[in-house]
């Protein structure tokens, strides 16, 4: 049993509190992703699990052990950083084996473990090279190999792909997913990139300002966000949000130039609402003329039409197939009402 459990975990730097009472369970063997905008506390929380930052208050368990006050080396974790942190004067093999050498493991054991990690990460051709003779992707594989060699209960990754170019990032993402499948260890992975979170995670933890906004499986967060923040963060392009008001048991949405009736319990007449509609759930209605197509971005398989409503409100609608509505065209916007989301304009909480 090597899950990770956080109980009311807090971090303060002097008077500034950056982590506000986090409760979380990461199951044994789970791939858990902490995602959120820059500065929300992802690295701090991960480093607290690693023991690189002291926990101001609360408790951290790894498996059955309370590790809250333990040194990093006693926790059974291995961390992979964005900047690789390799020793430049050591070869790939020496970099991977260094930790075990320092803890006095026999040479033969170290060599076996390096061979195993090298096989998993396809590093055999590079074992004698120095880091400077490797590409960014290869360096990051060595850093991951160094973690594998240590045989940790829990792998911790802090934005490991952020220094790679876009193509390599996708490639390494797939490799990390494969690695998790092959070794099955518990992994906690920090990223600001919602695509990485969606594609890698069994469980996503969305963080903002040191608080958890929502925890769930990727598709649950996409289909059933609890609040405006999660709805806007998960999904690309982002969900459209239009101001609305409760009027006569319906929602008046000027940005759609219409009222919408939804099967939810609405607040009182006149209450402010945010109306949420994903670009992929809406379509252009050639028979309508409420909106103007300002421009379209064609990506090949799909394109995005940027619309302006009569009052200047903006929204993005996805178009599929080969036809692209030209800029300047007047259109309407159609969508299945069950695909629309409502949020309280004041609290941002979902109205269901």
By CB under 6 A, name the binding residues for ligand ADP: 13, 16, 18, 36, 38-44
CB atoms within 10 A of CB 106: 10
The residue among 13 and 87 lying less far from ligand ADP, judged by its C-beta, is 13
Partner from ligand ADP, Mg ion, none binding residue 102, C-beta < 5-8 Å depending on class: none
Q: Would you call the peptide bond into 11 cis, given omega within 30 degrees of 0 as the criterion?
A: no
**Residue 292 C-beta: closest distance to ligand ADP, Å:** 38
Residues facing residue 166 across a β-bridge = none
What is the DSSP annotation of 256-302? GTEEE--SS---STT-EEEEEE-GGG-EEETT--SEEEEEEEE-SSE
**Residue 164 C-beta: closest distance to ligand ADP, Å:** 18
The residue among 210 and 235 lying less far from ligand ADP, judged by its C-beta, is 210
The residue among 43 and 240 lying less far from Mg ion, judged by its C-beta, is 43
The residue among 39 and 106 lying less far from ligand ADP, judged by its C-beta, is 39
Q: Is residue 82 a contact residue for Mg ion (CB under 5 A)?
A: no
With 0-12 / 13-18 / 19 or more C-beta atoms within 10 angstroms meaning exposed / middle / buried, residue 299 is exposed
Q: Is residue 194 a contact residue for Mg ion (CB under 5 A)?
A: no
Q: Is residue 240 a contact residue for Mg ion (CB under 5 A)?
A: no
Partner from Mg ion, ligand ADP, none binding residue 41, C-beta < 5-8 Å depending on class: ligand ADP
The residue among 207 and 315 lying less far from Mg ion, judged by its C-beta, is 207
Strand spans (E) along 63-219: 65-66, 77-80, 154-158, 186-191, 203-208, 211-216
d(CA 182, CA 63): 21
**Residue 82 C-beta: closest distance to ligand ADP, Å:** 10
Partner from ligand ADP, Mg ion, none binding residue 44, C-beta < 5-8 Å depending on class: ligand ADP
d(CA 111, CA 97): 8
CB atoms within 10 A of CB 230: 23
Residues 31-50: x/- map of binding to Mg ion (CB under 5 A)?
------------x-------
The residue among 38 and 108 lying less far from ligand ADP, judged by its C-beta, is 38
The residue among 31 and 34 lying less far from ligand ADP, judged by its C-beta, is 34
Partner from Mg ion, ligand ADP, none binding residue 265, C-beta < 5-8 Å depending on class: none
What residue has token string 């239009």? Answer: 242
Residues 325-344: x/- map of binding to Mg ion (CB under 5 A)?
--------------------
H/E stretch holding 230: helix 228-233
What residue has token string 């690295």? Answer: 43
Ramachandran area for residue 51 (φ above 0: left; ψ -120 to 50: alpha; else beta): left
The residues binding Mg ion (CB under 5 A) are 43
């Amino acid at each position: 049993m090597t899950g990770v459990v956080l109980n009311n975990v807090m971090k303060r730097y002097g008077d500034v509190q950056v982590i506000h009472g986090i409760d979380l369970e990461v199951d044994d063997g789970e791939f858990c992703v902490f995602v959120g905008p820059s500065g929300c506390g992802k690295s701090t929380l991960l480093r607290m699990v690693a023991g690189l930052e002291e926990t101001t208050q609360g408790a951290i368990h790894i498996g059955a052990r309370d590790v809250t006050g333990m040194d990093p080396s006693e926790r059974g974790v291995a961390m992979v950083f964005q900047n690789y942190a390799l020793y430049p004067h050591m070869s790939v093999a020496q970099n991977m084996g260094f930790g075990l050498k320092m803890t006095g493991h026999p040479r033969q054991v170290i060599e076996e473990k390096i061979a195993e990690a090298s096989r998993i990460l396809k590093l055999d051709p590079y074992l004698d090279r120095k880091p400077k003779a490797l590409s960014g992707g290869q360096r990051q594989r060595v850093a991951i190999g160094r973690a594998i060699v240590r045989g940790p209960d829990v792998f911790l990754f802090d934005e490991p792909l952020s220094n790679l170019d876009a193509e390599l990032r996708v490639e390494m993402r797939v490799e990390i997913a494969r690695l998790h499948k092959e070794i099955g260890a518990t992994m906690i992975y920090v990223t600001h990139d919602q695509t990485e979170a969606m594609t890698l995670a069994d469980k996503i933890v969305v963080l903002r300002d040191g608080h958890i906004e929502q925890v769930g499986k990727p598709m649950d967060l996409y289909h059933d966000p609890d609040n405006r923040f999660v709805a806007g963060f998960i999904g690309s392009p982002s969900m459209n949000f239009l101001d609305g008001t409760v009027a006569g048991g319906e929602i008046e949405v000027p940005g759609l130039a219409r009222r919408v009736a939804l099967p939810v319990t609405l607040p009182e007449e006149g209450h402010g609402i945010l109306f949420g509609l994903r670009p992929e759930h809406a379509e252009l209605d050639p028979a309508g003329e409420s909106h103007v197509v300002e421009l379209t971005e064609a990506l090949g398989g799909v394109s995005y039409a940027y619309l302006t409503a009569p009052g200047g409100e903006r929204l993005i609608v996805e178009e599929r197939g080969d036809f692209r509505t030209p800029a300047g065209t007047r259109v309407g916007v159609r969508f299945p009402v069950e695909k629309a989301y409502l949020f309280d304009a004041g609290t941002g909480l979902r109205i269901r």
